Structure 1
Amino acid sequence: MTTPPCLDWRPAMLAECLEDKIAVVVIGHNEGERLSRCLRSVWASDWPAEKLDVIYVDSASTDDSCFRARSEGARVFASTQPGAAAARNTGWRVSHAQWIMFLDGDTVLDPHFLRNALKILQKDESCACIWGHRRELAPHQSCYVRVLDLDWCYQSGDTLFCGGDALFRRSALLDAGGYDATIMAGEEPELCYRLRCNGWRIRHINAAMTLHDLAISSFSQYWQRAVRAGYAYAAVSRHTGALWQSEVRHSLRQAGLLLLVPLLSLVLLTWGSAALLPWLALCLLMLRSAWRARWRSQDTVTLLLYGIHSWFEQLPVCCGIWRCWHDQRQRVGQRLINYKRSPS
C-alpha cells in the first residue's frame, strides 16, 4: 500500500508537505453553536482541506464544545492554564505546520483570507503575521455591538499589533517563544511588541478576515468588556514598559474630564443657565470624536453613538486600570475578566 505523501518519513517530502500546510488553531470556552459555525467556516475556506490542520483548544468548557469540535473534524486538546494566551500556545505547539491561523471560537472565517494572507507572508520574509478586517456578524443586535463594531476598524499597512485572529509565521512564534501565558488580556499586542523588538513586522491588509459574534446585549456586559480593556492597557504597559502607556494616560485624562463636568455644573448653578456650559462642552467633544471617526462608518446615528461611547467607556476602562494597579501592588496574579455569556 502506498504511503500518503504527508505521512512519508523522508525529511525532504515532509518539508514539502508542511511548506503550505496551515494549522488553524481555534480556542474557546462554552461557545456552543458558535464553535460549530466557526469550524465549518474553516473547512469551507478555499484552501485545500488536505492542507489544513484544524485544532481546537478548550478552556474548561462545561458544555458540549469538545464533542462539537470532534464532530466537525478538529483535533481537540485541553488548555492546562486559564486564558487565551495559554490556549493558543497549546494549539500552535502541537502542530508542525509552518503557518498558524489563530481564531476565536466565536468567529466566522472569510473563505478567501487564508489564500490571500499566505501569498503575502510567503513573499515578505520580514513579516511575522498578517491580519485583515474583523467585523461584527450582527452589528445591529444591540446599541453596544453597533458602536463596538467600529472599534475593529484599522487602516491597512504596518501596525503595532494584531488582534486574536491572525495568520502567523511559525518561525516568528518560535523566535518570540509564543504568547506570554501570564497575561490574561492584551496578550496579542504584548507578543507583537516582542516580535517588533526582534525585527519582525506586523501587517494589516485591506481584506475581509473574520466576522465576530460579540453577543453583548446588556449594559453590564458592555461595562465588563471595557473594564477588561483597561486591565489589559495597564498590564501590558507595565509588562513592556512602552506599549499602551499613552492609552493609559489618555483614558485617565478623559475619565477625569468626565468626572469634572458634573462638579463644574454644580459650582456654576448659582449663575443659572451657566451650569449647562460644562455639559455643552462635553457634547461638543463627543461630536468631535464622532467626526474624527467618520472614516469608520457612513451612518450618522452610528457615528453619534460612537462619539458618546468613546468618552463614556473611559470610566469602566479606568476601573480596569485601577484594578490592575491594585493587583500589581498586592502581587496578585492577573485576573481573567469574562464579559460573555454562554449561549443557551
Structure 2
Amino acid sequence: MRIAAVVIGRNEGARLIACLDALADVSPVIYVDSGSTDGSVAAAQARGAQVVSLDMTQPFTAARARNAGLAQVPADVALVQLLDGDCVVQAGWIAAATAFLEDHADVAVVCGRRREMYPQASVYNALIDTEWDTPVGEALACGGDALMRVEALRAVDGYNPHLIAGEEPEMCVRLRQAGWRIWRLDAEMTAHDAQITRFSQWWQRSKRAGHAFAEGAALHGAAPERHWVAETRRALLWGAAGPLLIVLLTVLFGPIGLFAALVYPLQMLRLARRGGTAWGVFNVLGKFAEAQGALGYYLGRLTGRKKALIEYK
C-alpha cells in the first residue's frame, strides 16, 4: 500500500524539523502551515515536503487544516498518517500499523501509544503522559496521531472543519456509524512535546476539553451513541452546579453551608488512591475549567456567536 503523511503545525520550530525527519521514508509528506513566522515553511520545503499554506483570513481550526492536507493526497494513496507538528513518529510504527490494516479490512483507523518527550519537565506534562496511556484493542476514537484509510475518510467527508476541538473523536463517531472500526495497538506510535509548564496553559487545555465535550454531546449525544454526554455532565456537576449549591447553602444556612465544600477534597483523595496525588488534585480542579469551556459553548449557541480557538501554547 502507498502511504502519505499529513502534518499540521504553526511555529513548531525544531519540533517540526524532527517530525519531518522521522518521515523520511514516507512519500508524499504534506505539511499544512497555519501562518508560521519562524521559517517552518522553508524548513518543510527543504525536507521535500509539499507545503499547503492555510488561508488565515478564515477562522482556523485543526480540522480545517487536516482537511486541507487530505485534499492534496494523491488518488493512488491508500493510507495516510495524520500527525501534529510537535510529534515524532517512532521507528517501526508505520510498518506495524500498515500490517494491521492489511489484516483487518473493516478497521479504518489504527493508533498506538503516544508518549510525552519530557514528562519530568512539569507536573502538567506528566499528567498528559498518563492521559495518553489508554487501553489497547477496539476503541471508540483516536487522537490527532493515527494511520487511517483514505477511502474511509473521504466516505465521511473527513473532519468537521467547524469544530475548534475534539475533531478526531467526532469523526470517529461518523466512521463507526458507517460500519468502520477504530483500533489501538500496543505499540509505540509517537513522541509528543506538550511544553506545558504553567498552570494557565493547563487550564486553557482543560477548558478546551470542556468545550469539546459539550459540542460533541450536542452533535452525537442521542442514544445509542451518547458521545461525551457523561463527560459533559461530570464537568457541569463538579465545575458549575457544585459551587452554586455551596453558595446557596451558605446563603440559606450561613457558614455551616461551607461544609458542603468538603466534597471536593474528599473527591481528590478518592481519585488519588487510584491515580496518585497529582492526578486526583488536577482531575478535580480540571472540572472547573471544563465547566467554563462547556458553558462558553452553550453561551455561544444562545447568542449565535462562534467560539474562537482555545489555545494553550
TM-score by length of 1: 0.82
In 1: Cα distance, 2:283 partner to 2:176 partner: 28
Deviation track 1:151-184 (CA, whole Å, cap 9, x = no partner) reads: 1121011111110000000111111111111111
> Which residue identity does 2:41 align to in structure 1?
C
* Deviation of 1:291 (Å): 3.0
Alignment-derived partner of residue 136 in structure 2: 156
Alignment-derived partner of residue 121 in structure 2: 141
* Deviation of 1:228 (Å): 0.9
2:151 equivalent to 1:184 = no
* Deviation of 1:287 (Å): 2.5
Aligned residues: 302
Deviation track 1:274-320 (CA, whole Å, cap 9, x = no partner) reads: 977853x4333223223333xxxxxxxxx210111111100011100
Write out aligned runs for 1:71-90 (5 A). Answer: 71-80=46-55, 81=58, 82-90=60-68
2:218 equivalent to 1:233 = no
* Deviation of 1:254 (Å): 1.9
* Deviation of 1:220 (Å): 1.2
In 1: Cα distance, 2:78 partner to 2:273 partner: 43
Deviation track 1:32-74 (CA, whole Å, cap 9, x = no partner) reads: 111111111222xxxxx2x531111111222211011112221
Alignment-derived partner of residue 93 in structure 1: 71
Alignment-derived partner of residue 265 in structure 2: 283
In 1: Cα distance, 2:102 partner to 2:136 partner: 18
Alignment-derived partner of residue 210 in structure 1: 190
* Deviation of 1:239 (Å): 2.0
Alignment-derived partner of residue 4 in structure 2: 23
Work out whether residues 261 and 282 of structure 1, in 8 Å CA contact, stay in contact via their aligned partners in 2: no
Work out whether residues 246 and 260 of structure 2, in 8 Å CA contact, stay in contact via their aligned partners in 1: no
Alignment-derived partner of residue 14 in structure 1: none
Moved more, 250-259 or 110-119: 250-259
2:123 equivalent to 1:123 = no
Alignment-derived partner of residue 300 in structure 2: 327
Report the aligned-residue RMSD: 2.1
Gaps of 5+ in 1: 1-19, 44-48, 294-302
> Which residue identity does 1:24 align to in structure 2?
A
* Deviation of 1:329 (Å): 1.1
Gaps of 5+ in 2: none
What is the aligned-residue identity percentage? Answer: 38
Question: Relative to structure 1, is the Cα distance of residues 259 and 330 closer, same or farther in structure 2, using a 3 angstrom cutoff?
Answer: closer
Write out aligned runs for 1:274-313 (5 A). Answer: 278-279=261-262, 281-293=263-275, 303-313=276-286
Q: Considering only CA atoms, is the larger Rg found in Structure 1 or Structure 2?
A: 1
* Deviation of 1:257 (Å): 3.5
Write out aligned runs for 1:40-119 (5 A). Answer: 40-43=21-24, 49=25, 52-80=27-55, 81=58, 82-96=60-74, 97-119=77-99
Work out whether residues 182 and 334 of structure 1, in 8 Å CA contact, stay in contact via their aligned partners in 2: no
SS of structure 2 residue aligned to 1:182? coil
Work out whether residues 262 and 278 of structure 1, in 8 Å CA contact, stay in contact via their aligned partners in 2: no
SS of structure 1 residue aligned to 2:101? helix
Alignment-derived partner of residue 244 in structure 1: 228
